């Protein structure tokens, strides 16, 4: 199994052999996002795509780093990854013994995560794709209006971040068959820097508006949906080289 | 055999180039493998700009309001410099909209806004590289439904090695004095 996973990362050519195991097909649909796009009101059209069943693990990322040594923490260009990139590993090409290999990889920059997905013939998810899959619970594709769903997610946000990470994929998968979208790590999206949410929409004076060319910035339709609100606030504050101790990723690819 | 010779020749050339240039600093945006096409349809690697201080921004030609101001801001900086300083500064404007900003469209913009092709480069990136290039420059953007883009308006100053040394979001005909001071300092021979 481990050898197969390794092969998927190192040899994108045979990745299709691993696909059934790693990726889940998500049907398209019209999705009422919690965000408010002033240029495109109403539900957003989501095309079908395939997404990883669970976040990328430390072992999988290690295989990638071994195949592309320019992504080793001791060799990476600092424009692509900040000083804490993979700092939790035992060495540049060694994850710590014990649980770490199966835990979701964190302390990865957007550039490194993108390069990983690219090596798989995949890409990072768009925000809307991520939000769409993450709206589900174990039985419903859109559980967002359920107060219990919201409570559970907020419960996770309230947990101290020093709690050790669980094994990736250990949680019950959602209605699409995708696990760990909530409750384990934060995740990069391809368009993290498209989330032009100003710090406080209520005090948006002209100077602030002029920071962006074109129409007004994003705002939030569903102010009660803290799960989405916090994700967007976090992603919109990040730069591409940033890493944090609880920010990981998973890849998506076009339907084959 | 011919191919082998060619290969050897290419290797020799590459080795010579490596010998001449010291390693690129790790904090240089020229670590990016991005390639561009300019308004004259010439292809070049971003790292080909190494060796000259560059004023850089991202824009798109169909933008009606802020983007023309970005061009004006670049010109205003140039006009505040001495002829000697000006000759040492390059300006690179990178399109956020490579689908529409073809070399022909860029060439038209160059004529309409009368920018000097000797010092200014209007660059079309590969569509797959736009987000990464913007990320290296600290530029956030989103494509809007009507074909416009919502984006950070900023001038970024890169030193000759491609390191970001200053940035300003004060866009317009009057240069940001602090930014201008850094431009002058960076241009000192």
> Which sequence spans correspond to the domains of chain A?
2-253
- pLDDT above 80 (res A153): yes
Whether the CA torsion A142, A247, B135, A65 is positive or negative: it is negative
A237/B18: higher pLDDT:
A237
Least confident among A69-83, A221-235, B32-46, B64-78: A221-235
pLDDT for residue B6: 52
- pLDDT above 90 (res B181): yes
* Residue B149 tokens, joined: 């883009």
- pLDDT above 50 (res B36): yes
- pLDDT above 70 (res A40): yes
Could you please report the per-residue DSSP string of A168-199? TT-SPP-TTS---TTTT-EE--TTGGG--B-S
pLDDT for residue A11: 47
Query: Cβ–Cβ of B144/A77 closer than 8 Å?
Result: no
- pLDDT above 90 (res A199): no
Residue A168 confidence class, pLDDT cut points 50, 70, 90: very high
pLDDT for residue B29: 98
A205-227: average pLDDT: 55
Q: How far does A128 lie from chain B, in Å, by closest CA? A: 13
A220/A177: higher pLDDT:
A177
CB distance from A190 to chain B under 8 Å? yes
**Is 1.10.8 the CATH number for A2-253?**
no
pLDDT for residue A14: 41
A222 CB-near residues (< 8 Å, 6+ apart): A34, A144, A228
- pLDDT above 90 (res B156): yes
- pLDDT above 70 (res B12): no
Cβ proximity of A103 and A168 under 8 Å: yes
pLDDT for residue A225: 76
Tokens 């600092």 belong to residue: A78
* Residue A70 tokens, joined: 């320019």
Q: How far does B110 lie from chain A, in Å, by closest CA? A: 20
Instruction: Identify the structural domains of chain B with CATH numbers, from first to last.
Output: 27-187 (3.40.30.10)
Cβ proximity of A120 and A50 under 8 Å: no
- pLDDT above 70 (res A176): yes
pLDDT for residue A1: 44
Here the ipTM equals 0.86
A109-124: average pLDDT: 97
pLDDT for residue B30: 98
> Left, alpha or beta for A185 (phi > 0: left; psi -120 to 50: alpha)?
beta
CB distance from B4 to chain A under 8 Å? no
Mean pLDDT rounded to a whole number for chain B: 89
For testing contact with chain B, the best of A111, A214, A217 (most B CBs within 10 A): A214
Tokens 């004076």 belong to residue: A205
Nearest to A114 among B132, B148, B151 (CB): B132
CB distance from A32 to chain B under 8 Å? no
In A170-217, the DSSP E strands lie at 186-187, 212-213
- pLDDT above 90 (res A139): yes
- pLDDT above 80 (res A218): no
User: Which chain A residues are within 8 Å of B96, Cβ to Cβ?
Assistant: none
Least confident among A32-46, A164-178, B146-160: A32-46
Tell me the pTM.
0.87
């Amino acid at each position: 199994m481990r050898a197969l996973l390794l092969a998927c990362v190192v040899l994108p050519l045979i990745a299709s052999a691993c696909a059934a195991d790693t990726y889940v097909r998500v049907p398209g649909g019209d999705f009422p996002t919690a965000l408010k796009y002033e240029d495109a009101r109403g539900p957003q059209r989501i095309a079908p795509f395939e997404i990883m069943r669970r976040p990328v693990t430390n072992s999988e990322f290690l295989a990638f780093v071994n195949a592309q040594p320019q992504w080793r923490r001791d060799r990476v260009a600092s424009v692509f990854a900040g000083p804490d990139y993979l700092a939790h590993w035992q060495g540049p090409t060694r994850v710590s013994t014990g649980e770490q290999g199966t835990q979701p990889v964190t302390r990865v920059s957007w550039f490194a995560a993108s390069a990983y997905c690219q090596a798989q013939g995949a890409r990072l998810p768009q925000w809307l794709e991520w939000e769409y899959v993450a709206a589900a619970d174990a039985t419903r594709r859109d559980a967002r209006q359920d107060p219990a769903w919201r409570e559970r997610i907020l419960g996770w946000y309230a947990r101290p971040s020093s709690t050790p990470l669980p094994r990736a994929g250990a949680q019950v998968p959602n209605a699409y068959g995708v696990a760990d979208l909530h409750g384990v790590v934060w995740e990069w999206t391809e368009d993290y820097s498209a989330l032009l949410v100003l710090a406080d929409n209520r005090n948006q004076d002209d100077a602030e508006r002029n920071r962006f060319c074109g129409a007004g910035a994003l705002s939030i339709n569903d102010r009660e949906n803290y799960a989405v609100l916090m994700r967007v606030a976090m992603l919109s504050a990040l730069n591409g080289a940033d890493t944090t101790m609880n920010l990981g990723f998973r890849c998506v690819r076009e339907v084959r | 055999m011919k191919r082998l010779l060619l290969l050897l020749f290419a290797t020799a050339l590459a080795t010579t180039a490596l010998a001449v240039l010291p390693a690129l600093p790790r904090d240089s945006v020229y670590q990016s493998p991005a390639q561009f096409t300019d308004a004259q349809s010439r292809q070049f690697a971003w790292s080909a700009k190494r060796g000259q201080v560059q004023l850089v921004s991202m824009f798109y030609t169909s933008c009606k309001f802020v983007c023309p101001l970005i061009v004006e801001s670049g010109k205003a900086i140039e006009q505040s410099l001495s002829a000697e300083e000006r000759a040492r500064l390059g300006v690179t404007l990178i399109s956020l909209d490579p689908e529409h900003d073809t070399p022909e469209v860029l060439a038209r913009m160059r004529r309409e806004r009368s920018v000097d092709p000797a010092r200014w480069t209007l660059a079309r990136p590969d569509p797959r590289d736009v987000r990464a290039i913007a990320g290296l420059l600290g530029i956030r953007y989103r494509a809007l439904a009507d074909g416009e883009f919502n984006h950070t308006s900023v001038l970024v100053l890169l030193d000759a090695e491609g390191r970001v040394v200053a940035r300003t979001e004060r866009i317009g005909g009057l240069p940001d004095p602090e930014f201008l001071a850094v431009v002058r300092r960076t241009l000192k021979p």
